[in-house]
Structure 1
Amino acid sequence: MTSQPARRSGLHPRNRHQSRYDFPALIAACPALEAFVRTSPRGEPTIDFADPLAVRALNQALLASFYQIIHWDIPQGFLCPPVPGRADYLHHLADLLAEDNQGTVPTQADILDIGTGANCIYPLIGQYEYGWRFTGSEVNPDALRSAAAIVAANPGLNRRIRLRRQKQDDAIFRGIIHANERYAATMCNPPFHDSAASAQAGSERKRRNLGLSEQGNALNFGGQPKELWCEGGEVRFIQQMIDESRAFARQVGWFTTLVSRGEHLPEIYRALQGAGAVRVVKKNMAQGQKQSRFIGWSFSEKRPR
């Protein structure tokens, strides 16, 4: 059982999840959460973060309470994302877009979410926070059906979120960005392991951090193979993304992606230099002790019109 800190240090100032979880309010938004709430050793309400059902119920409550997403669910075994960290990426991306818009976050931006997943988390938060329009791509048909069900179940989302199946296993932007389309930015949470064994080892580390044995149920946040690992891991995936991005340089203002490990940055920077990126930025993010970042690159000094 893990209790929550009073505040989550390092989150973006606009992030709605600065303080400890208000469980009475969350239960009011999602009554199903109540069955999973326990008392921590400190005497505070919490949930068992090693229980995937509890984590899913918490996400349902957070999305309902903060983002008015009343219907949200994912199939068993798919990635169940931590909402505060996902929101942070969007807020830092908003700051990046504001830098090209006289300091004001654009409200009419079109954003492409690469690998939107069964959870559709970035479009759900981004459309609420900033009114952006999202295109979410996904290679897994089951994940795409789940994301489509979420969009269909919440009134009005189909005007802000559209989904596209990536039919080419070896492509990222190809087949997704259509001719004459323009995007203010792309975003991506790439698979960061390079093999199934590496992904399993990462799961076991997280279980140990939760005070659990290495054997047991699937990781609390779940994840399908293409969500967690790919050949060559994070670096290879991002290198391919950079290579493909050159063909869409005139259609996208900023290409961005999360980078889970800082030691991967030198290889990524070399790939960006080789691709001829005109501008490259790194945005640091933090949630408590966890450090993360995303990089962005552009082939133009000006944002697309």
Structure 2
Amino acid sequence: MHIKTNLHPLNLHNKRYDFPALIQTHPELNQYLLNRHDQLTIDFADSNAVKSLNCALLKKYYRIDFWDIPKGYLCPAIPGRVDYIHYLAELLENNCTVGKVSAAKVQVLDIGTGASCIYPILGQRVYNWRFIASDIDAVSVASSKQIINANKGLSSKIKVLLQPDKDSFFSNIIQPGQRLDLTICNPPFHRSLQQALAGNSRKRENLAKKSTSKTQQLDRQKKLAATLNFGGQKAELFCSGGELQFIKNMIKESVDYSQQVLFFSTLVSKKDHLAEIKLALKNAKVAQFEIIKMAQGQKISRFIAWSYLNKSQQQLWYKQKLLAE
């Protein structure tokens, strides 16, 4: 059973997946259904099954009629991705003391949007936010543009850009005088391809243990042995220095855009990285930072958000840009 608990209260996926309703929305999902312990589920180690589940969820709950990713690219889990969006909306609301935030006025930069463009499409559908989606990978950019152009109402709200410099986060994307309310990022986890392969091998083994028989376990391991679990091209999975160095580099560059962004943010997969990240933020002389915990069942995740604007500067920003009429 895959019972999702502790998700944000506004998350639509706090209960078990309603597979009969999802199949009605997306009939192709039916071929991947399994019955375990009298509960319908899918094999979450099968990337095709997860992809089909995503298509069903996006179509039923988020009005996304077309969604696809190229073979070998990361297939995101929808509940956890939309949780990040909900907590960011809460961050904006909690820090505003001068009125009510108009969601339609919020502008967000997604750094490394990937081939799925998942954060922009969720943020747009749930909160009507506007997005810039950037990536260093041309295939990811093309895939994201295809998704945006194929779904009604997205092309005027989401702009997809190729980042020409693999070592830059904001440069080439944020233009002079442009102001963004949030930046978001799901960083690469690993330092090398070898580390990424090892991590995905462990994930495969853990998921395989959930099979109901040893035969199924062996069949699944053979099926997945030649591929990275859930896909993931190298830019999505690893970078020099891994997650910690990636985030420290982002913080360093964020100083140059301190007056153009209200809140920067990034997911942090490893709790052990927080001490060095907090030190980097203090050295950057940020005015405020917050660590927001998220949970999905037994899995605990978090993101860190920071701002160079003090409280009075933040309220002025809200008054000038974000308040409802």
TM, length-normalised to structure 1: 0.95
Structure 2: gaps (5+ residues): 210-216, 321-325
TM, length-normalised to structure 2: 0.90
2:161 paired with 1:164: yes
Equivalence map 1:140-151=2 (5 Å)? 140-151=137-148
Name the structure 2 match of 1:83: 78
1:145-186 residue CA offsets vs partner (Å, 9 max, x unmatched): 000000000011011111111001111111111111111010
Query: Letter of the aligned partner of 1:257 in structure 2?
Result: T
1:197, distance to aligned residue in structure 2 (A): 1.0
Q: Specify the SS of the correspondent of 1:168.
A: coil
Pairing partner for 1:266 from 256, 275, 284? 275
Structure 1: gaps (5+ residues): none
Conservation of the 8 A alpha-carbon contact between 2:201 and 2:229: no
Identity value in percent: 47
2:239 paired with 1:230: yes
C-alpha separation between the residues in 2 aligned to 1:29 and 1:64? 7
1:67, distance to aligned residue in structure 2 (A): 0.3
1:98-148 residue CA offsets vs partner (Å, 9 max, x unmatched): 123237453110000000110000011101111100100011000100000
Equivalence map 1:70-219=2 (5 Å)? 70-102=65-97, 104-107=100-103, 108-210=105-207, 211=209, 212=217, 216-219=225-228
Query: Letter of the aligned partner of 1:253 in structure 2?
Result: L
Higher helix residue share: 2
Name the structure 2 match of 1:247: 256
Conservation of the 8 A alpha-carbon contact between 1:50 and 1:219: no
Conservation of the 8 A alpha-carbon contact between 2:5 and 2:15: no
C-alpha separation between the residues in 2 aligned to 1:105 and 1:17? 25
Name the structure 2 match of 1:53: 48
Please say which of residues 288-297 and 216-225 is displaced more in the overlay: 216-225
C-alpha separation between the residues in 2 aligned to 1:13 and 1:289? 17
C-alpha separation between the residues in 1 aligned to 2:43 and 2:120? 27
C-alpha separation between the residues in 2 aligned to 1:257 and 1:94? 14
Name the structure 2 match of 1:34: 30
Query: Letter of the aligned partner of 1:273 in structure 2?
Result: K
Conservation of the 8 A alpha-carbon contact between 1:27 and 1:34: yes
1:244-299 residue CA offsets vs partner (Å, 9 max, x unmatched): 00000110000000000110001101111111111010000010111110001100
Name the structure 2 match of 1:276: 285
Q: Specify the SS of the correspondent of 1:158.
A: coil
Instruction: Please tell me whether Structure 1 or Structure 2 has the larger radius of gyration of its CA atoms.
Output: 2
1:63-96 residue CA offsets vs partner (Å, 9 max, x unmatched): 0011000000000000000000001101111111
1:221, distance to aligned residue in structure 2 (A): 1.8
Q: Specify the SS of the correspondent of 2:86.
A: helix
Q: How many residues align?
A: 300
Conservation of the 8 A alpha-carbon contact between 1:94 and 1:105: no
Please say which of residues 110-119 and 25-34 is displaced more in the overlay: 25-34
- Kindly indicate whether structure 1 or structure 2 has the higher relative contact order, using CA contacts under 8 Å at least 6 residues apart: 2
Name the structure 1 match of 2:13: 17
Q: Specify the SS of the correspondent of 2:92.
A: helix
Conservation of the 8 A alpha-carbon contact between 1:98 and 1:106: no
Please say which of residues 44-53 and 11-20 is displaced more in the overlay: 44-53
